[in-house]
Structure 1
Amino acid sequence: MDAELFLADLEAKPEALEGLALLLERGDPFEGLPDGFERIVFLGMGSSRYAAGVAA
Protein backbone atom coordinates (compact mmCIF):
# COMPACT_ATOMS: atom_id res chain seq x y z
CA MET A 1 0.00 0.00 0.00
CA ASP A 2 1.24 3.48 -0.87
CA ALA A 3 0.43 5.76 2.07
CA GLU A 4 0.54 8.92 -0.05
CA LEU A 5 -1.92 7.53 -2.60
CA PHE A 6 -4.16 6.32 0.20
CA LEU A 7 -4.15 9.79 1.74
CA ALA A 8 -4.94 11.36 -1.64
CA ASP A 9 -7.85 8.94 -2.02
CA LEU A 10 -9.20 9.85 1.40
CA GLU A 11 -8.84 13.58 0.72
CA ALA A 12 -10.77 13.21 -2.57
CA LYS A 13 -13.76 11.50 -0.96
CA PRO A 14 -15.68 14.62 0.18
CA GLU A 15 -15.71 16.06 -3.34
CA ALA A 16 -16.67 12.70 -4.86
CA LEU A 17 -19.49 12.23 -2.35
CA GLU A 18 -20.76 15.75 -2.99
CA GLY A 19 -20.84 14.98 -6.71
CA LEU A 20 -22.75 11.78 -6.03
CA ALA A 21 -25.24 13.64 -3.83
CA LEU A 22 -25.86 16.18 -6.60
CA LEU A 23 -26.38 13.38 -9.12
CA LEU A 24 -28.88 11.65 -6.85
CA GLU A 25 -30.79 14.91 -6.28
CA ARG A 26 -31.42 15.10 -10.03
CA GLY A 27 -33.26 11.77 -10.08
CA ASP A 28 -32.48 8.22 -11.13
CA PRO A 29 -28.74 7.86 -11.78
CA PHE A 30 -29.40 4.84 -14.01
CA GLU A 31 -31.94 6.44 -16.35
CA GLY A 32 -29.25 7.28 -18.90
CA LEU A 33 -28.29 3.65 -19.40
CA PRO A 34 -29.35 1.94 -22.62
CA ASP A 35 -32.36 -0.39 -22.41
CA GLY A 36 -31.87 -4.12 -22.28
CA PHE A 37 -29.76 -4.58 -19.16
CA GLU A 38 -30.90 -7.39 -16.92
CA ARG A 39 -28.54 -6.49 -14.12
CA ILE A 40 -25.72 -4.17 -13.10
CA VAL A 41 -22.67 -5.44 -11.24
CA PHE A 42 -20.98 -3.21 -8.67
CA LEU A 43 -17.31 -4.03 -8.11
CA GLY A 44 -14.91 -2.97 -5.42
CA MET A 45 -11.85 -3.98 -3.47
CA GLY A 46 -11.14 -3.27 0.18
CA SER A 47 -13.50 -0.69 1.62
CA SER A 48 -14.95 -0.14 -1.86
CA ARG A 49 -16.18 -3.72 -1.79
CA TYR A 50 -18.34 -2.92 1.22
CA ALA A 51 -19.63 0.27 -0.44
CA ALA A 52 -20.52 -1.72 -3.57
CA GLY A 53 -22.44 -4.18 -1.43
CA VAL A 54 -24.45 -1.37 0.13
CA ALA A 55 -25.17 0.16 -3.29
CA ALA A 56 -26.28 -3.19 -4.67
Structure 2
Amino acid sequence: MSARFVQTIQSGMSILARDGANREDLVAVAEVAMAAWDAHLSAAGAPGRPPTRPG
Protein backbone atom coordinates (compact mmCIF):
# COMPACT_ATOMS: atom_id res chain seq x y z
CA MET A 1 0.00 0.00 0.00
CA SER A 2 2.68 2.51 0.91
CA ALA A 3 4.50 2.59 -2.42
CA ARG A 4 1.27 2.84 -4.39
CA PHE A 5 0.02 5.64 -2.12
CA VAL A 6 3.23 7.65 -2.48
CA GLN A 7 3.34 7.10 -6.23
CA THR A 8 -0.27 8.25 -6.62
CA ILE A 9 0.31 11.41 -4.59
CA GLN A 10 3.55 12.14 -6.45
CA SER A 11 1.91 11.67 -9.85
CA GLY A 12 -1.02 13.87 -8.91
CA MET A 13 1.22 16.60 -7.57
CA SER A 14 3.35 16.43 -10.70
CA ILE A 15 0.28 16.96 -12.88
CA LEU A 16 -0.88 19.84 -10.68
CA ALA A 17 2.55 21.48 -10.91
CA ARG A 18 2.67 20.99 -14.66
CA ASP A 19 -0.73 22.66 -14.94
CA GLY A 20 0.40 25.68 -12.96
CA ALA A 21 -0.39 24.94 -9.31
CA ASN A 22 1.51 27.20 -6.97
CA ARG A 23 3.58 26.15 -3.97
CA GLU A 24 0.71 26.80 -1.56
CA ASP A 25 -1.55 24.41 -3.50
CA LEU A 26 1.11 21.70 -3.57
CA VAL A 27 1.85 22.06 0.15
CA ALA A 28 -1.89 21.74 0.86
CA VAL A 29 -1.98 18.47 -1.11
CA ALA A 30 1.05 17.19 0.79
CA GLU A 31 -0.54 18.08 4.13
CA VAL A 32 -3.75 16.24 3.28
CA ALA A 33 -1.76 13.24 2.04
CA MET A 34 0.26 13.12 5.26
CA ALA A 35 -2.93 13.38 7.35
CA ALA A 36 -4.38 10.47 5.39
CA TRP A 37 -1.18 8.49 5.88
CA ASP A 38 -1.21 9.20 9.63
CA ALA A 39 -4.83 8.05 9.82
CA HIS A 40 -3.90 4.86 7.96
CA LEU A 41 -1.03 4.17 10.37
CA SER A 42 -3.24 4.85 13.38
CA ALA A 43 -5.89 2.46 12.08
CA ALA A 44 -3.19 -0.15 11.60
CA GLY A 45 -1.91 0.39 15.15
CA ALA A 46 1.45 1.76 14.03
CA PRO A 47 2.99 4.90 15.49
CA GLY A 48 2.53 7.99 13.33
CA ARG A 49 5.05 10.64 12.51
CA PRO A 50 5.94 13.23 15.14
CA PRO A 51 3.86 16.42 15.22
CA THR A 52 5.15 19.25 13.08
CA ARG A 53 6.17 22.58 14.54
CA PRO A 54 4.04 25.56 13.45
CA GLY A 55 5.64 28.20 11.32
In the superposition, the TM-score normalised over structure 1's length comes to: 0.40
More helix by share: 2
| Higher alpha-carbon Rg | 1
In the superposition, the TM-score normalised over structure 2's length comes to: 0.41
